[in-house]
């Protein structure tokens, strides 16, 4: 592969895991986002779902609980959870430290500013 093929389209990002939710990097097919939830706080809710995207949630650090379609799952550093499109879900930080997750969405679920995208056509 030529050098000109590598440098111009290569995307990379140093993750910081600051407060809240932030899209880190994306392309037309997928995206990665950082999410940090304060101890005792939750993201999502009983009716939260992604209409057209699967979400792969990887726990970088902290402890938490995922509620997916009414079932509860424990989360800790190293946990990987697949939340499929249309699954109702909520993520709660249950430990004394913030819950830090890296999330991959296929296809993209959010704009760069964090607004939800309409469901992609399959």
Closest CA to 87 of 71, 63, 101, 106: 71
Task: Convert the pLDDT of each residue in 42-92 to its tens digit.
Answer: 998 878 888 889 999 999 999 999 999 999 999 999 999 999 999 999 999
Annotated domain spans of the chain:
26-106
Q: What is the number of alpha carbons within 13 Å of residue 101 lying toward its C-beta?
A: 29
Overall pTM surpassing 0.85 (yes/no): no
- Of residues 67 and 12, the one with the higher pLDDT is 67
Position 4 confidence tier, pLDDT thresholds 50, 70, 90: very low
Tell me which H or E stretch contains 35: strand 31-37
43 contacts 56 by C-beta, under 8 angstroms: no
Instruction: Give yes or no for residue 35 having a pLDDT over 60.
Output: yes
Banded pLDDT at 8 (limits 50, 70, 90): low
12, pLDDT greater than 90? no
Burial (CB count <10 Å: 0-12, 13-18, 19+), residue 95: middle
Contact in structure between 81 and 67 (CB atoms under 8 Å): no
For the chain, give the percent of residues with pLDDT over 90.
Answer: 61
Two tokens, residue 70? 């009414």
Predicted pLDDT at 53: 93
Provide mean pLDDT across the span 3-29.
79
Question: Would you state the pLDDT for residue 50?
Answer: 83
- The CATH number corresponding to 26-106 among 3.40.630.10, 2.60.120.10, 3.90.1150.10, 3.40.50.2030 equals 2.60.120.10
Query: Which pLDDT does position 122 carry in this prediction?
Result: 46
């Amino acid at each position: 592969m030529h050098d000109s093929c590598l440098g111009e389209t290569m995307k990379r990002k140093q993750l910081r895991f600051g407060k809240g939710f932030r899209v880190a990097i994306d392309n037309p097919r997928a995206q990665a986002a950082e999410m940090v939830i304060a101890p005792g706080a939750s993201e999502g809710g009983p009716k939260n779902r992604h209409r057209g995207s699967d979400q792969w949630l990887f726990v970088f650090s902290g402890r938490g609980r995922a509620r997916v379609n009414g079932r509860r799952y424990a989360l800790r550093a190293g946990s990987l959870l697949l939340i499929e499109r249309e699954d109702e879900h909520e993520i709660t930080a249950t430990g004394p430290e913030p819950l830090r997750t890296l999330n991959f969405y296929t296809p993209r679920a959010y704009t760069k500013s964090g607004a939800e995208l309409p469901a992609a056509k399959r």
